[in-house]
Amino acid sequence: MRNLVLPALLLLFSTLAIVQAAVFSVDLGAEWMKVAVVDVKPGQSPIGVALNEMSKRKSSSVVAFSGGNRLLAEEAMGIAARFPERVYSRVRDMVGKPSESVKRIASASYLPYDFVEESPQVTSIRVDSQELYRSEELLGMILGYCRGLAEANVKATVKDAVITVPPYFGQSERQAVIAAAQAAGINVLSLMNEHAAAALQYGIDKDFSTEPRYVLFYDMGANSAFAAVVLFSSYSAKEYGKNVSHNYFELKGIRWDAEIGGQNLELRLVEHFAKEFEKKTGVDVRAFPKAVAKLKKQAKRAKEILSANTEASFFVDSLYDDQDFKSHITRQAFEELCSDLWERAVIPLQKVLEDVGMTSEQLYAVELLGGGTRVPKLQQVLAQALGKKPLERHLDADEAITLGAALYAANISDGIKLNRKIGMFDGASYGVVLKVNDDGPYELVVPRLRRIPVKLARAVKQQEDYELSLHYDPEGELPLGIIDREIAAFKISGVTDSVAKYSSYNLSAPIKSVLHFALSRSGVLSLDRAETVVEFTELVEVPVNVSTNATTTLESTSNASVAENVTQAPVETIMEKKLKKKTIRIPSKLEVLRDTGAYSEDQVAQFRSRLDRLKELDDEKRQTEEAKNNLESYIYTTKEMLDTIKDLSKVSTEKQRQEFLARLDEAGEWLYSDGEAATASEFKKRLGELKAIGDPIFFRLEQLTARPAAMEAARGSLVESEAAIHEWKEKKPWISDAEVRKEGQKLVDWIEAKESEQAKVADHEQPAFSSTEVYARIEKFRVLVARTGAQKAPKPPKIEEVVKNDAGSEEPKVGEENPGASSGGGDSNSGSTQEGEREIESPDQAQAFEDESSTTPLRDEL
Ligand SMILES: Nc1ncnc2c1ncn2[C@@H]1O[C@H](COP(=O)(O)OP(=O)(O)OP(=O)(O)O)[C@@H](O)[C@H]1O
Ligand SMILES: [Mg+2]
Average pLDDT of the segment spanning 485-514: 96
The pLDDT of residue 800 = 57
DSSP state at residue 761: S
C-alpha 371 – ligand 1 centre gap (Å): 3
Q: Both 96 and 127 in a single domain?
A: yes
Q: Is 396 in the pocket of ligand 1 (CB under 6 A)?
A: no
Helix, strand or coil, per DSSP, at residue 705: helix
* Inter-CA distances, 335 with 330, 331, 843, Å: 9, 6, 86
Q: Both 578 and 619 in a single domain?
A: no
797's CB contacts (< 8 A; 6+ apart) are: 816, 817, 818, 819
Calpha distance 595→171 (Å, rounded): 10
Q: Is 195 in the pocket of ligand 1 (CB under 6 A)?
A: no
Q: Tell whether the model's pLDDT for residue 294 goes beyond 80.
A: yes
The pLDDT of residue 263 = 95
pLDDT tens digits for range 451-484: 999 999 999 999 999 999 999 999 999 999 999 9
Q: Tell whether the model's pLDDT for residue 112 goes beyond 90.
A: yes
Domain boundary among 388, 423, 458: 423
Calpha distance 829→805 (Å, rounded): 9
Q: Both 134 and 39 in a single domain?
A: yes
* Inter-CA distances, 527 with 134, 447, 455, Å: 27, 16, 10
> Is 252 within 8 Å of 229 (Cβ atoms)?
yes
> Is 96 within 8 Å of 597 (Cβ atoms)?
yes
Q: Is 771 in the pocket of ligand 1 (CB under 6 A)?
A: no
Residue 230 lies in a domain: no
Q: Both 750 and 825 in a single domain?
A: no
Residue 710 lies in a domain: yes
Q: Which of the residue ranges 514-523, 616-625, 746-755 has the most confident prediction, judged by mean pLDDT?
A: 514-523
Which atom of ligand 1 lies at the shortest distance from residue 58's CA?
17
The pLDDT of residue 124 = 95
- How many helices (H) and strands (E) the chain has is answered by 23, 32
Q: Which ligand is nearest to the CA of 58?
A: 1
The pLDDT of residue 130 = 83
Residue 587 lies in a domain: yes
Q: Is 7 in the pocket of ligand 1 (CB under 6 A)?
A: no
Look up the CATH number of the domain holding residue 88.
3.30.420.40
Q: Tell whether the model's pLDDT for residue 490 goes beyond 60.
A: yes
**Would you call the peptide bond into 453 cis, given omega within 30 degrees of 0 as the criterion?**
yes
Q: Both 615 and 581 in a single domain?
A: no
684-694: b (≥16 Cβ within 10 Å) or e: bebbeebeeeb
Q: Both 746 and 843 in a single domain?
A: no
Calpha distance 217→230 (Å, rounded): 8
The pLDDT of residue 20 = 54
Average pLDDT of the segment spanning 402-428: 89
The pLDDT of residue 551 = 45
pLDDT tens digits for range 255-283: 999 999 999 999 999 999 999 999 999 99
Atom 21 (ligand 1) nearest CA: 29
Beta strands in 675-800 (DSSP E): none
Q: Tell whether the model's pLDDT for residue 834 goes beyond 70.
A: no
Calpha distance 611→654 (Å, rounded): 54
Average pLDDT of the segment spanning 121-143: 93
Residue 578 lies in a domain: yes
Facing residues of 49 across strands?
36
C-alpha 95 – ligand 2 centre gap (Å): 17
State the DSSP H helix or E strand holding residue 630, giving kind and residue range, or none if neither. Answer: helix 601-644
Q: Both 826 and 783 in a single domain?
A: no
Atom 8 (ligand 1) nearest CA: 371
Look up the CATH number of the domain holding residue 589.
2.60.34
C-alpha 228 – ligand 2 centre gap (Å): 14
Q: Tell whether the model's pLDDT for residue 419 goes beyond 90.
A: no
The pLDDT of residue 571 = 78
Query: How big is the chain, counted in residues?
Result: 862
Q: Tell whether the model's pLDDT for residue 558 goes beyond 70.
A: no
The pLDDT of residue 842 = 35
The pLDDT of residue 810 = 42
Q: Both 716 and 783 in a single domain?
A: yes
The pLDDT of residue 801 = 54
Among 49-58, 177-186, 691-700, 812-821, the minimum mean pLDDT is found in 812-821
Q: Tell whether the model's pLDDT for residue 836 goes beyond 90.
A: no
Q: Tell whether the model's pLDDT for residue 160 goes beyond 90.
A: yes
Q: Which ligand is nearest to the CA of 376?
A: 1
Total domains in the fold of the chain: 4
Which atom of ligand 1 lies at the shortest distance from residue 303's CA?
4
pLDDT tens digits for range 339-356: 999 999 999 999 999 999
The pLDDT of residue 386 = 92
> Is 824 within 8 Å of 809 (Cβ atoms)?
no
Among 91-95, 386-390, 485-489, the minimum mean pLDDT is found in 386-390
Q: Is 222 in the pocket of ligand 1 (CB under 6 A)?
A: yes
Domain boundary among 756, 791, 826: 791
HSE-CB for 254 with a 13 A CA cutoff: 29
C-alpha 583 – ligand 2 centre gap (Å): 50
Confidence of residue 299 (pLDDT cuts 50, 70, 90): very high
C-alpha 601 – ligand 2 centre gap (Å): 30
Calpha distance 679→676 (Å, rounded): 9
The pLDDT of residue 471 = 98
C-alpha 661 – ligand 1 centre gap (Å): 55
pLDDT tens digits for range 31-57: 999 999 998 877 777 899 999 999 999
Q: Is 401 in the pocket of ligand 1 (CB under 6 A)?
A: no
3-state helix, strand, coil in the chain (%, to 5): 40, 25, 30
Q: Both 413 and 462 in a single domain?
A: no
Q: Which ligand is nearest to the CA of 312?
A: 1
Residue 321 lies in a domain: no
Domain extent at residue 123: 23-209+396-423
Q: Which amino acid is at 199?
A: A
Helix, strand or coil, per DSSP, at residue 199: helix
Higher per-residue confidence, 133 vs 835: 133
Q: Is 121 exposed, middle or buried (0-12, 13-18, 19+ CB in 10 A)?
A: middle
DSSP secondary structure string for all residues of 333-377 = HHHHHTHHHHHHHHHHHHHHHHHHT--GGG-SEEEEESGGGG-HH
CB atoms within 10 A of CB 398: 20
Residue 190 lies in a domain: yes
Calpha distance 166→260 (Å, rounded): 13
Q: Which amino acid is at 462?
A: Q
Atom 3 (ligand 1) nearest CA: 304
Helix, strand or coil, per DSSP, at residue 236: strand
Q: Both 839 and 774 in a single domain?
A: no
Atom 1 (ligand 1) nearest CA: 304
Which atom of ligand 1 lies at the shortest distance from residue 304's CA?
3
Average pLDDT of the segment spanning 240-262: 94
The pLDDT of residue 837 = 34
Question: Mutate which of 25, 27, 28, 31 to test ligand 1's pocket (most atoms within 8 Å of Cβ)?
Answer: 31
C-alpha 837 – ligand 2 centre gap (Å): 73
State the DSSP H helix or E strand holding residue 616, giving kind and residue range, or none if neither. Answer: helix 601-644
> Is 60 within 8 Å of 75 (Cβ atoms)?
no
Residue 384 lies in a domain: no
Q: Tell whether the model's pLDDT for residue 813 goes beyond 70.
A: no
Q: Both 656 and 769 in a single domain?
A: yes
> Is 527 within 8 Å of 488 (Cβ atoms)?
yes
pLDDT tens digits for range 723-735: 999 999 999 999 9
Residue 838 lies in a domain: yes
Calpha distance 377→787 (Å, rounded): 75
Confidence of residue 549 (pLDDT cuts 50, 70, 90): low
Average pLDDT of the segment spanning 414-421: 74
Q: Is 167 in the pocket of ligand 1 (CB under 6 A)?
A: no
Q: Both 742 and 843 in a single domain?
A: no
Q: Tell whether the model's pLDDT for residue 639 goes beyond 60.
A: yes
Confidence of residue 569 (pLDDT cuts 50, 70, 90): low
Q: Is 29 in the pocket of ligand 1 (CB under 6 A)?
A: yes
Mean pLDDT (the chain) is 87
Question: Mutate which of 26, 28, 32 to test ligand 1's pocket (most atoms within 8 Å of Cβ)?
Answer: 32
Average pLDDT of the segment spanning 247-258: 97
